[in-house]
A and B are shown apart, each in its own frame.
Chain A
Amino acid sequence: MDVVYYLIQNMLPVGISLLLVALGGMFSERSGIINIALEGIMLFGAFFGALFVLFVQKSGMGAQTILLLGMLVAAISGLLYSLLLAFASINMKADQVITGTALNMLIPAVILLFSKMFFGSDGVTTNISFYIRKIPILGDIPILGPLFFQSTYLTVIIGFILLAIAIVLLYKTKFGLRLRACGEHPHAADSVGINVYRMRYAGVSLSGILGGIGGFFYSVGVLDGNISGHTGVAGFGFLALAVMIFGQWKPLRILGAAMFFAFLRTLAYSISLIPFLYNLGIDQNYYKMLPYLATMIVLALSSKHSRAPKAEGIPYDKSQR
């Protein structure tokens, strides 16, 4: 039972980070823009979040307050970075995949350059612990307590709150309906007076905010508040895209998909704790490949009847009917 608790406790921070980034990708694609730059946006948010933590960690603020403020910083920086994608793909009608690739390549180089020149290292190293051993009262609930409210991070709770907000925003508001219309049939949306360009900007911006937060949460929950330009976020932005496709662009399904991948990854990194798997003597690199291989298998099975937004990836041009 302890192993199960351990796996779930370690899975949640990883899964939440994947979930938020995948939700970001969902908003962007639902508005019609393929956001392959999520990896870069995550790294950008994580970098500025960690930089903020580095500057305020000695100011005497509580760790959880710093986490919340760092989250804001990460969200804003993610938003700003995503505007580069929005400008290129909405105003300039550039190829969205190529632009995204450029943004992914840009940010690790910037981080490495500045970190090497100013800190003499590959990234930002902070010295603060966001870890929560046990949340009062909630942590004492049998079974649920150890699973969700012990040995955890604040990020997990925030992540579920953001998920709820995302569901309401997408399905219960006028805005969500309009956003989805722009991803399915922008010309029809335009004909009833929706500003397609503005909705797409909104979709990409939301993905920037969620991507930035997701990146910062990755740094908090997986890397102990540090971030390096060398290893970055280890392909989580790309995994998030796969999670989004596996989740068929729907928030709750994305939650399930994100947790599935997070579980596989946690499993891969805690093989030595599980005697049964450890005794099999399989090279640990196989387990490291597992999340990516599982992604491919899942995509192979689910892509045949994919429900991708119909207009995604196509720049909107008013004059083309």
Chain B
Amino acid sequence: MQENNSKNKNKLNIKSITKLKGFSSFTSALLAIFLGLAFGFVIMLIANPGNAMAGFRYILVGGLGRLGDVFYFATPILMTGLAVGFAFKMGLFNIGASGQYTMGMFFAMYVAFMWDLPGSSHWMIAILAGMIGGMIMGFIPGIFKALLNVNEVITSIMFNYIGMYFVDMLVQSNGDMYNATLTRTRYIDQGVQIPALGIAGSNVNLGIVLAIIVAIILYITLQKTTFGYELKATGHNKFAAEYAGMQGKRNIILTMVISGGLAGLGGAFAILAPSAIAGSSMTYEPINIIAANGFTGIAVALLGNAHPLGIIFSATFISYIQRGGTLASLVGFKPEIIDIVIAVIIYFSAFAMIMNSAIARVAKRLVGKKNDDEIVEEDIIIEEDVIVDDNDNLTKEAE
């Protein structure tokens, strides 16, 4: 009897959260951003009180003057953000986006340097190669998780290192790719670069358009397909999903492969992009350091609430304050200030949702004392809504 009661209580709580979900995830993202920026400002005050205001202004509005660059640098982190977010939906934490990103970058570079393909098919195939590279790296943690029960967090961290050393070794031993005197990779031929969009003063390229298209495809996959439905169901309750006949193991592997592919695409978009010097491309420096864009992807995914469309905006935002951070070095700060802000945003967004719903619950309780009956009615209505929604989904699946 007691057990029943507590279960009912849980149900009500969950309902009150779902009711506010869209709104509350937005406000909790805002809350996390606010706290992150505030903490960054405090750090700036400690580091250099005199210039803190000027530096902080750069961070807040500095990106406005360089919108092209904002989108240029948003492209790779949009992809790693989608990678992490997609795995989140399944309840997997893909911290290995860095390794997948690096491997994707290498595959794309390999096709760009070593293969000879006609015209614009060259960069397209290089992008696809990047995706395949990421998929392979995503497949490994998937297999380990599904078949051997090894936590995907540990596996993907280990493979961040393995992938990084592996790629660094392959790059350094390949004279066609690697310029030993500059300790960097050579420039990729202009014909293999992703075409620029032709916006003056920046190299923003087709990559961002492709990335947004991928985000939309992901959104449709998650919302309108059986696979997306199974994925979310497994993320909510893996035992219930298994009981309902969904193939948990297959879905884990598939999710990690797709997630890895997305991160790999990010690597391809990053390396095949034209850079600031005319005719040159981005380069890779094999110095045994794990790609930061993979970790930034975690922040992007959390801020965007793992929702593909939300991630488009959060990637743009993170890229925006990163541009501001580079400008803050004009008044003596270092771009690392933004990494601090991002880390704090992740820290708070891990529990901002709970803070938010706690506030919402308190607010509701205050209102609830006055008109208890109305709220009960509302809850019932919501429940019906949910059922209707589910039916909709099912009929669509049937079609």
A binds B: yes
Mark A residues whose CB is within 8 Å of B: 36, 84, 88, 92-95, 97-99, 101-103, 105-106, 108-110, 112-114, 116-117, 229-231, 235, 238, 241-242, 245, 283, 285-286, 288-289, 292-293, 295-296, 299-300, 303-304, 306, 319-321
B148 adjacent to A117 (CB under 8 Å):
no
**Binary flags per residue of B129-173, CB closer than 8 Å to A gives 1, else 0:** 000000000000000100011110111011101100110110001
Provided the pairs A84-B347, A289-B165, A292-B158 are in contact, do residues A94 and B354 lie with their beta carbons within 8 angstroms? yes
Question: Do A95 and B350 touch across chains, with their CB atoms under 8 A apart?
Answer: yes
B162 contacts which chain A residues (CB < 8 A)? 289, 292-293, 296
B339 within 8 A of A: yes
From B162, B295, B337, residue with most partner A Cβ within 10 Å: B162
| Closest chain B residue to A116, Cβ basis | B334
B165 with A285: CB separation less than 8 A:
yes
**What residues of B have a CB within 8 angstroms of the CB of A292 in the complex?**
158-159, 161-162, 165
Least Cβ–Cβ distance between B79 and chain A, in angstroms = 19
Residues of A within 8 Å of B3, CB to CB, are 321
Question: Is the CB of B309 closer than 8 A to any CB of chain A?
Answer: no
User: What are 12 A-B pairs at a CB distance below 8 A?
Assistant: A88-B350, A94-B350, A103-B343, A105-B346, A109-B336, A109-B337, A113-B336, A117-B48, A235-B157, A299-B148, A299-B155, A321-B2
Across-interface contacts of A230 in B (CB, < 8 A): 289
Tell me the bound Cα distance from A306 to B48 in angstroms. 50
Given contacts A101-B346, A235-B157, contact A300 B148 (CB under 8 A): yes
Give the size of the chain B interface in residues (CB under 8 angstroms).
Answer: 50
What residues of B have a CB within 8 angstroms of the CB of A235 in the complex?
Answer: 157, 161
B161 and A289 form a contact (CB under 8 A): yes
Smallest CB-CB separation from B286: which chain A residue?
A285
CB distance from B162 to the nearest CB of A (A): 5
**B6 lies within 8 A of A320 (CB):** yes
Query: Shortest beta-carbon distance, A98 to chain B, in Å?
Result: 4
**Contact status B351-A296, CB under 8 Å:** no
Asked if residues B150 and A300 are in contact (CB atoms below 8 Å), the reply is yes
Contact between chains at B153 and A88 (CB < 8 Å)? no
B212 close to chain A: CB less than 8 A = no
Closest 4 CB pairs of A and B: A109-B339, A94-B351, A106-B343, A285-B169
- B169 touching A93, Cβ below 8 Å: no
* Contact yes or no, A242 B158, CB < 8 A: yes
Q: A109-B343, A241-B154, A293-B162 are in contact. Are A304 and B350 (CB under 8 A)?
A: no
Q: Does the CB pair B351–A306 fall under 8 Å?
A: no
Verify B173–A98 contact, CB threshold 8 A. Answer: no
Q: Tell whether B262 is near chain A: CB-to-CB under 8 Å.
A: no
In the complex, chain B residues whose CB is within 8 Å of the CB of A102: 343-344, 346-347, 350
* Smallest CB gap from B346: residue in A: A102
A303 touches B150 (CB 8 A): yes
**Selected contact of A304 from candidates B149, B151, B155, B344, CB within 8 Å:** B149
Chain A nearest CB from B53 CB (Å) reads: 17
Residue contact A303 to B149, C-beta cutoff 8 Å:
yes
Contacts of A103 in B (CB 8 A): 343, 347
Give every chain A residue within 8 A of B148 (Cβ-Cβ). 299-300, 303-304
Q: List the A side residues contacting B298 at CB < 8 Å.
A: 98, 101
Report which residue of B93, B302, B351 has the largest number of chain A beta carbons within 10 angstroms of its beta carbon: B351
* Chain B residues with a Cβ under 8 A of chain A: 2-3, 6, 9-10, 43, 47-48, 93, 95, 144, 148-151, 153-155, 157-159, 161-162, 165-166, 168-169, 173, 288-289, 295, 298, 302, 332-334, 336-337, 339-340, 342-344, 346-347, 349-351, 354-355
Q: Tell whether, in the assembled complex, residue A105 and residue B343 are in contact, meaning their CB atoms are under 8 Å apart.
A: yes
Nearest Cβ distance between residue A240 and chain B, in whole angstroms? 11
Q: A94-B351, A299-B155 are in contact. Are A110 and B289 (CB under 8 A)?
A: no
Which residues of B have CB within 8 Å of A92? 350-351, 354-355
Residue of B nearest to A40 (CB): B343
In the bound complex, CA of A296 to CA of B161 (Å):
12
* Contacting residues, chain A, for B47 (C-beta < 8 A): 113-114, 117
A289 adjacent to B166 (CB under 8 Å): yes
A300 surroundings in chain B (CB, below 8 A): 144, 148, 150
Q: Which residues of B contact A109 (CB under 8 A)?
A: 336-337, 339-340, 343
Residues on B with beta carbons closer than 8 Å to the beta carbon of A36: 153
A286 to B334, CA, bound (A): 35
A312 to chain B, nearest CB (A): 11
Are the C-beta atoms of B173 and A113 separated by less than 8 Å?
A: no
Given that A106-B340, A285-B168 are contacting pairs, would A99 and B347 also be in contact in the complex, using a CB cutoff of 8 Å?
yes
Chain A residues contacting B155 (CB-CB under 8 Å) are 296, 299
Residues on B with beta carbons closer than 8 Å to the beta carbon of A286? 169
CB distance from A124 to the nearest CB of B (A): 15
Q: How far is the CA of A108 from the CA of B10 in the complex (A)?
A: 40
Beyond the given pairs A238-B157, A319-B9, 20 more chain A to chain B contacts, judged by CB atoms under 8 angstroms and listed by A's residue number, are A84-B347, A88-B350, A95-B350, A97-B95, A98-B93, A98-B298, A98-B349, A102-B344, A102-B346, A231-B289, A238-B158, A242-B154, A283-B173, A285-B168, A286-B169, A289-B162, A292-B159, A293-B158, A299-B154, A300-B150
Q: A110 with B340: in contact, given A300-B150, A319-B6 (CB under 8 Å)?
A: yes
- B360 CB to closest chain A CB (Å) equals 15
B2 proximity list for chain A (CB < 8 A):
321
Q: Is the CB of B354 within 8 A of A101?
A: no
- Given A113-B334, A116-B334, A299-B154: A105 in contact with B342 (beta carbons within 8 A): yes
How far apart are the CA atoms of A319 and B93 in the complex, in Å? 27
B289 touches A101 (CB 8 A): no
